[in-house]
Amino acid sequence: MTPQQTTGRSRRRRAVAIAVATLLLTVSGCSGSSLGDSDASGEEIRIGLIVPKSGPYKAIGDDQAAGFRLALDKLGGKLGGRPVTVIEADEGEGKATALASARKLIEQDKVLALVGGGTADTVQTLYPLLKESGVPLIGTGGRPSTVEDPTYLWSTSWLSQETGASIAGYLRQKVGEGRVWVIGPDYIGGRDQIGGFVDPFRKAGGKLANPGGEPTWTPWAPAPTTEFSPYLTKIKESGAAAVYTFYAGASAVEFVKQYRQYGVDVPLYASGFLTEGPSLAALGPAAEGIYTALNYSTTLDNAANRDFVRRYTAANDGKLPNLYHVCAWDAALVLDKAIAEALAGPDAPAASPVPGSSTAVSPATSSSASAAAGGASGELTGQSLTAALSRVGSIDSPRGAWQFGPKNHTPVQAYYLREVAQDGQVWVNRTMQTLTTLGS
Q: Encode pLDDT of 201-255 as tens digits.
A: 999 999 999 999 999 999 998 889 999 999 999 999 999 999 999 999 899 999 9
Contacts of 401 (CB under 8 A, 6+ apart): 304, 354, 355, 356, 357, 394, 395
- Closest-CA residue to 196 (of 210, 182, 207): 182
In this prediction, residue 221 carries a pLDDT of: 86
In this prediction, residue 38 carries a pLDDT of: 31
State how far the alpha carbon of 176 is from the alpha carbons of 213, 216, 236, 247, in Å: 17, 22, 19, 25
**Residue 268 forms beta bridges with which residues?**
243
- Closest-CA residue to 280 (of 312, 300, 313, 257): 257
Q: Please state which of the four CATH numbers 3.40.190.10, 2.40.50.140, 3.30.70.260, 3.40.50.2300 is assigned to the domain occupying 161-294+416-438.
A: 3.40.50.2300
Mean pLDDT of all residues in the chain? Answer: 86
- Closest-CA residue to 126 (of 109, 104, 156): 104
Dist. CA 350–CA 387, nearest whole Å: 12
Buried b (16+ CB within 10 A) or exposed e, 423-439: eeeebbbbbbeebbbbb
Q: Do residues 168 and 182 lie in contact, with contact meaning Cβ atoms separated by under 8 Å? A: no
- One-character DSSP codes across 379-401: ---HHHHHHHHTT---B--TT--
- Closest-CA residue to 115 (of 183, 69, 177, 59): 69
Q: Do domains 42-158+309-409 and 161-294+416-438 have the same CATH topology?
A: yes
Amino acid at 305: N
In this prediction, residue 120 carries a pLDDT of: 85
**Domain boundaries of the chain, sorted by first residue:** 42-158+309-409, 161-294+416-438
- The rounded Cα 65 to chain-centroid distance in angstroms is 12
Point out the residues of the chain with pLDDT beneath 50: 1-40, 351-376
In this prediction, residue 249 carries a pLDDT of: 87
Q: What's the DSSP call for residue 38?
A: S
Which CATH number applies to 42-158+309-409?
A: 3.40.50.2300
Dist. CA 145–CA 73, nearest whole Å: 33
Contacts of 407 (CB under 8 A, 6+ apart): 366, 440
In this prediction, residue 179 carries a pLDDT of: 98
Q: What is the reported pTM? A: 0.82
In this prediction, residue 57 carries a pLDDT of: 87
Measured torsion, CA atoms of residues 295, 99, 221, 58, in degrees rounded to the nearest 10: 50
